Amino acid sequence: MALTQLQVAPDLVDQVYTALLNAISEGEMAPGARLTQEELAEQLAVSRQPVLQALRLLKRDGMVVDAPGRGLMVAPLSAALIAQLYEVRSVLDGLAARLAAQAKARLDRALLERGRKAVAGEKIGAMIDADIAFHQAIYAASRNPLIAESAGRHWRHIRRASGAMLQVAGARASIWDEHEDIARAIARGDAARAERLARGHCEAASVHLCGQLSRHAQLEAGS
């Protein structure tokens, strides 16, 4: 694992937090990986203090947990949490798509092009950013700011779930096929279809990811 060195700045704790969150979301720091202040500070070329504060924030947000014995480790991905997260997302995304369709919003084609370009590459971070940008565009097109605000409360876990989903190569292209269908339904003003597709998109992701986690847990238990 190689982390990019950071420049000293007043918001250094935020920079360290974001760097570590991205590494967790993109799979560079796998669930169960032990985290030490000294090693992280050395890789990021910062002192231990901002690393300590960033780790405290990540622990508060459920991204890291106490490791057996001593220290911290990357929190395991919980199938129960993923299922609950996507239950909320499916409702929010469905509502946003319905309202956007009622407004006959036309999403910027560049969002779809960016997404397809990202999945053609190998950078999970770029794929996550493109995916989140697409959904945020629908939230904005809904003209209801409370939708984005509500989703924003869970953005860290959404980012990590998106990263876990995108680490499966076979799922990447199909995600953007589904996004394209949602965008078309919104542009046509087909509110019922847009909502159904948006909710189905979230529900399929939940089933797929929870299934993966359950299979992994079974393999771990049998090893």
What confidence tens digit (pLDDT) does each residue in 51-105 have? 999 999 999 999 999 999 889 999 988 888 889 999 999 999 999 999 999 999 9
User: What's the confidence (pLDDT) of residue 202?
Assistant: 93
Look up the domain containing 39 and give its range: 12-74
Q: What is the CATH number of the domain that holds 35?
A: 1.10.10.10
Same domain, 105 and 194: yes
Answering whether pTM is above 0.85, one says: no
Same domain, 20 and 106: no
Same domain, 91 and 201: yes
Residues 160 and 82 sit within 8 Å (Cβ to Cβ):
no
Pairing relation of β-strands 64-66 and 34-35? unpaired
For residues 115-133, b (16+ Cβ closer than 10 Å) or e, as one string? bbebbeeeebbbbbbbbee
Strand 64-66: give its sheet, edge to edge: 34-35, 72-74, 64-66
Number of domains in the chain: 2
Q: Which of 59, 74, 89 is the last residue of a domain?
A: 74
Distance CA 181, CA 133 (A): 16
Each residue's pLDDT tens digit, 183-215: 999 999 999 999 999 999 999 989 888 887 777
Q: What is the CATH number of the domain that holds 176?
A: 1.20.120.530
The band of 221, judged by pLDDT with boundaries at 50, 70 and 90, is: low
Same domain, 48 and 158: no
Same domain, 144 and 94: yes
Question: If we measure between CA atoms, which residue out of 79, 130, 102, 120 comes closest to residue 193?
Answer: 102
Looking at the DSSP bridge assignments, the partners of residue 73 are 34, 65
Range with lowest mean pLDDT among 36-40, 59-63, 181-185, 218-222? 218-222
pLDDT of 223 above 60: no
Residue 144 backbone phi and psi in degrees, to 5 = -120, 100
Query: What are the residues whose beta carbons fall under 8 Å from the beta carbon of 192, sequence distance 6 or more?
Result: 98
